[in-house]
Homo-oligomer: A and B are copies of this chain.
């Protein structure tokens, strides 16, 4: 028979969520045997997963533990996770199992010690995850509606904000990254979408792409707002970024924004099934090079176009395929972000990000959000 596939993870693991389409907070095991998915859940999860999950079969862990105890001639209380696995593999008449790359090494070693031949998937465990189906596209659009409403809510606050001594003020208090973040998070919650982090970073802070931002926001500085929440009911994400400025931009800031818009457009124009992620990345990079925006290390930091152009989006914020210098061919149905950016501590940072489905002839945008960025 074919090798059995085995995952051991909570549904925070994207492969497990993909397989079972149900939230389970603690790790559990699921097998794929001859194309059928079989999950083992304890009494706390069993009934709910039977009802709400999409496994072909759900086994009650307590019942399997009794059988494993008899099989190994030990007390039920002494049965461990590895015993359940080895017992079930014997039931499936196989001595070999294929696990994902992020399978826990501890269990992998125990399986080997028990005489099981464990092989690790060299690529994606579920290669079909890269091509999004209709339900997934709908879920991704919902995620991006949450992101867009988050950014719109922030824009509305910035519209209302006043400038005092160069700092932004709203509701009589300093407008901080933290306050604006909260506004965004509440807007996302209205879509049942929750954010591990939301980036609202102004000025020099924004030049560190993973700095979430803190403290008072200033007038006339570029502010990056990057919102990538997960919709709880589906597990799929949105991921949009806009760069805005309250006050009046300088020519240098306007040129920076225009360059990033141009790189964004150039990358999107290349996007269609069969092109490589590397070629899409190169299209964005070329625009910056033509316009004379240099990239490289300066003293203790890096500036310019210091990250890749995009990444796959789905049950993970960052997933396959990559739109980077090493990005492989994009298949039809892949969903990727396009998010070029420029980072210069003396001037500020700009990143503009949207989400696209890769189609046969071109890209379909899965998000809707204005590019207006200067707020008087």
Query: Which residues in A have some Cβ–Cβ distance to B below 8 Å?
Result: 12, 23-26, 43-45, 47-48, 77, 99-109, 118, 120-121, 178, 182, 185-186, 189-190, 192, 194-197, 208-212, 232, 297, 300-302, 306-307, 317-318, 325-326
List of B residues within 8 angstroms of A108 by Cβ? 105, 108-109
Q: List 7 A-B contacts (CB under 8 A).
A: A47-B208, A99-B105, A100-B105, A101-B104, A101-B106, A102-B106, A104-B105
Chain B nearest CB: distance from A150 CB in Å? 13
How many copies of this chain are found per oligomer?
2
List of B residues within 8 angstroms of A104 by Cβ? 101-103, 105
On whether the beta carbons of B232 and A326 are closer than 8 Å, the reply is no
Chain B nearest CB: distance from A64 CB in Å? 14
Q: How far is the CA of A182 from the CA of B326 in the complex (A)?
A: 42
On whether the beta carbons of A44 and B194 are closer than 8 Å, the reply is no
Q: How far is the CA of A186 from the CA of B300 in the complex (A)?
A: 39
Q: How far is the CA of A178 from the CA of B232 in the complex (A)?
A: 12
On whether the beta carbons of A26 and B318 are closer than 8 Å, the reply is yes
Q: How far is the CA of A30 from the CA of B47 in the complex (A)?
A: 40
| Contact A77-B326, Cβ < 8 Å, known A99-B105, A106-B101, A194-B196 | yes
Q: How far is the CA of A121 from the CA of B104 in the complex (A)?
A: 12
On whether the beta carbons of B77 and A210 are closer than 8 Å, the reply is no
Q: How far is the CA of A106 from the CA of B48 in the complex (A)?
A: 32
List of B residues within 8 angstroms of A212 by Cβ? 23
Q: How far is the CA of A333 from the CA of B196 in the complex (A)?
A: 29
List of B residues within 8 angstroms of A118 by Cβ? 105
Q: How far is the CA of A210 from the CA of B209 in the complex (A)?
A: 36
Q: Specify which of A102, A192, A306 lies most central, judged by the most chain B CB atoms within 10 Å of its CB.
A: A102
| Contact A105-B77, Cβ < 8 Å, known A25-B317, A194-B194 | no
On whether the beta carbons of B77 and A106 are closer than 8 Å, the reply is no
Which 4 residue pairs of A and B lie closest in terms of their CB atoms, listed nearest first? A101-B106, A105-B108, A103-B105, A43-B302
List of B residues within 8 angstroms of A101 by Cβ? 104-107
On whether the beta carbons of B105 and A210 are closer than 8 Å, the reply is no
Q: How far is the CA of A194 from the CA of B230 in the complex (A)?
A: 12
List of B residues within 8 angstroms of A325 by Cβ? 77
Chain B nearest CB: distance from A304 CB in Å? 11
Q: How far is the CA of A122 from the CA of B210 in the complex (A)?
A: 34
Specify the chain B residue showing the minimal Cβ separation from A9.
B102
List of B residues within 8 angstroms of A306 by Cβ? 43-44
List of B residues within 8 angstroms of A192 by Cβ? 178
On whether the beta carbons of B26 and A307 are closer than 8 Å, the reply is no
Specify the chain B residue showing the minimal Cβ separation from A103.
B105
Q: How far is the CA of A254 from the CA of B29 in the complex (A)?
A: 39
On whether the beta carbons of A197 and B77 are closer than 8 Å, the reply is no
Chain B nearest CB: distance from A322 CB in Å? 12
On whether the beta carbons of B185 and A189 are closer than 8 Å, the reply is yes
On whether the beta carbons of A232 and B197 are closer than 8 Å, the reply is yes
Chain B nearest CB: distance from A35 CB in Å? 23
Chain B nearest CB: distance from A169 CB in Å? 20
Specify the chain B residue showing the minimal Cβ separation from A78.
B326
On whether the beta carbons of A211 and B326 are closer than 8 Å, the reply is no
Chain B nearest CB: distance from A204 CB in Å? 11
Q: How far is the CA of A209 from the CA of B24 in the complex (A)?
A: 12
List of B residues within 8 angstroms of A182 by Cβ? 189-190
On whether the beta carbons of A48 and B99 are closer than 8 Å, the reply is no
Chain B nearest CB: distance from A212 CB in Å? 8
List of B residues within 8 angstroms of A106 by Cβ? 100-103, 120-121
Chain B nearest CB: distance from A43 CB in Å? 4
